Amino acid sequence: MESIAFQGQLGAYSHLACTQLQPNAKPIAYDSFVMAIKAVEEGKAKWAMIPVENSTAGRVEEIYRQIPKTALHIVAEHFQPVNHCLMALPEAKPTWVMSHPQALAQCHDRILSQNLSPKAEFDTAGAAKLLLEAHDLSGAAIASELAASLYGLEILQRHYEDVTGNTTRFICLMKAAEPPEMLQGQQYITSILFKVRNIPAALYKALGGFATNGLNLIKIESYMDGKTLNSSQFHIDINDHIQSDAMDRAMEELRFYASECRWLGTYTAHEFRLNR
C-alpha cells in the first residue's frame, strides 16, 4: 500500500486531509514537517500532506522556509474545514488549554473570554494525547472531534474557533515533476519560486508579464533566502497551467528579470476555489 506522510498524531487535521485527498493511502505520522518531507525524499512515503495557510491565522511560516530546501513538487492542493473542539477529561475543570500555535491563534478570543491560559504544543491531536497521558483535570486541549474520540476525551464545546468557516489549505508534495495533462475547461494552479535581479523595479517588471498576458496572480509570498539580508525570494501562485501559451510568454519575461526561477508544480485547482 502506498503511504502519505503528515506532521502530528493520528486525529490531527493533517490526518483528516490525508484521508480525504488520498483515501486509499496509509497515513504515517511524523513529529515535524521536515521529517514528513524527508520521508518522501527518501522514498519512505509517496506523498507529504503539508499545511501552508489558514483563513484565520494566516500562513504557516515554517513551511515557506522549507519549500526552497526540498526538490519535491506540489502535485495537489486540498482545503480542509477546521472545526475545533475544546476537550478535556471527564469531570475536569480547566484553567489552561494546549494545542498547536496555529490552533491557539484561531481560538484566541474564545480562550481569552474563558480566562484559560494557552500552552503551545507541536500538534492538535498530540495535545489531546498528552492530556490523556497526564490525566490532568486542570487542563484542556483544542483538537478535532476525531482526536477526542481516539483519546477518550469529553468535548466541552464544538466549533470553538473564533471565525466561522475556518479553513486550512494543504499542499501535497511528491517527487514526480511532470505537470498534469492540460484539459479544456479545467482550472489549474501553477506555483513558482524565484529571486529577482538586483536592478530597479525588478519585481514590478518580473510580474508584469502575468498582467499583460491576462493571468491571475492569486498569491505572492516574500521571505529572506537565509543567506543575505539583501536578497528575497518570492513564491507565487498563478491561476493557469504551466504549458499554456499565456504562461509561456509570462514565464519568459519572468526569467529575464529573475536571477533564479524554479517551477514548484502545476495542479488542479481544488473545488473549494470554484465554489467561492
Q: Which of 6, 170, 194, 210 is catalytic?
A: 170
Q: Which residues contact 59 (CB under 8 A, 6 or more apart)?
A: 52, 53, 221
Q: Where are the alpha helices (DSSP H) in 91-233?
A: 101-106, 108-113, 124-134, 145-151, 202-212
Note whether 80 and 175 are within 8 A (CB): no
Half-sphere exposure of 139 (CA within 13 A, CB side): 18
Sign of the CA dihedral running 193, 195, 200, 206? negative
Q: Which of 56, 124, 168, 190 is catalytic?
A: 168
CA distances for 132 relative to 30, 153, 247, 270, angstroms: 20, 7, 52, 36
State yes or no: is 168 an active-site residue: yes
Q: What is d(CA 108, CA 196) in angstroms, rounded to the nearest whole number?
A: 37
Q: What is d(CA 162, CA 168) in angstroms, rounded to the nearest whole number?
A: 14
Q: Which residues contact 204 (CB under 8 A, 6 or more apart)?
A: none
State yes or no: is 268 an active-site residue: no
Return the active site residues.
Answer: 168, 170
